[in-house]
Amino acid sequence: MTRKILLIDDDRLQFSLTRQYFKAFRATEFELEWQETYEGGLHALMNGNYVACLLDYHLGVRDGLELIREATELGCKVPIVFLTAETGSNVDIEAMNAGALDYLVKGEFSAKMLERSLRYALKLGSTMEALRLLATRDELTGLLNRRVFEGVLKEEMERSRRFGRSFALALLDIDHFKSVNDTHGHPVGDAVLRELANRFQSCVRSVDRVMRYGGEEFIILMLESDLGMARALVERLCAEIREEVVHADGKELNITISAGVAVFPTDGNNRNDIVQAADLALYSAKENGRDRMVAYVDIPKS
């Protein structure tokens, strides 16, 4: 299968030379595409489904280092090999620090060296992505993990303060989950966690975040949501879990969940307060019979 490589370089002669190098590769699995401007290159890098990028240092008034940093901030994961004609500076170190995975000096590399560099960048990029997933994803459910939650919550609090928009945080807990493990075994318990994770994901909007908080607890961050919107979504979620049998490792189980909902910034204007508000609401849901949602504002205040 042919894989696309993007070259971002304002020199047409470099494009022609690189294309000739590609024809000399031992394998013909790479297809070269070219962008000659910073703006066009950034847009293609973020939207073109490339497996790797060759990026020139000089791109008019802006440079490749700036492009790497901007692409990284936008979430780009494409492996980048940096190209430059400069040899007497620290551009190579700056490029690697910015996020490039390899570095080649124009006029000093051959087709064999370029092919080797691309394969190295692809392999290293694949390894780094696997490590990133291990660090950010819960291995059992595939959801974002608690470590990611801390960063996402910080970002959303900053966004809320900047634009004056609220968001809601829901803590969800599987009722009597210990008895599921004790009665049916941990493989069944794991299957329940995976099934509910899938259901939570299917019930929220694409902009919302579902994360595994730990054990049988999950978190949903509902962006730009008020209490009414959050209450409707979580109550619907509780009802759907209640009414549909969970198929887990060959068994059919009746599962319910309890949930606590808090809204930022009205129920708490910092990390500790908003999480504590949702946790208190969850505790109230459990104390009042489980299989229900309780909002922080519903809790009687002394």
Catalytic machinery residues: 216
Q: Provide the 8-state DSSP code for 144.
A: B
Angstrom CA distances, 97 to 72, 80, 136, stand at 12, 12, 22
**Alpha carbon distance 39, 262 (integer Å):** 41
DSSP calls for 190-246:
HHHHHHHHHHHHHHS-TTSEEEEEETTEEEEEETT--HHHHHHHHHHHHHHHHHSPE
Q: What residue has token string 């696309």?
A: 4
Query: Which residues make beta-bridge pairs with 170?
Result: 220, 261
Residues 6+ apart with CB under 8 A from 146: 211, 212, 213, 214
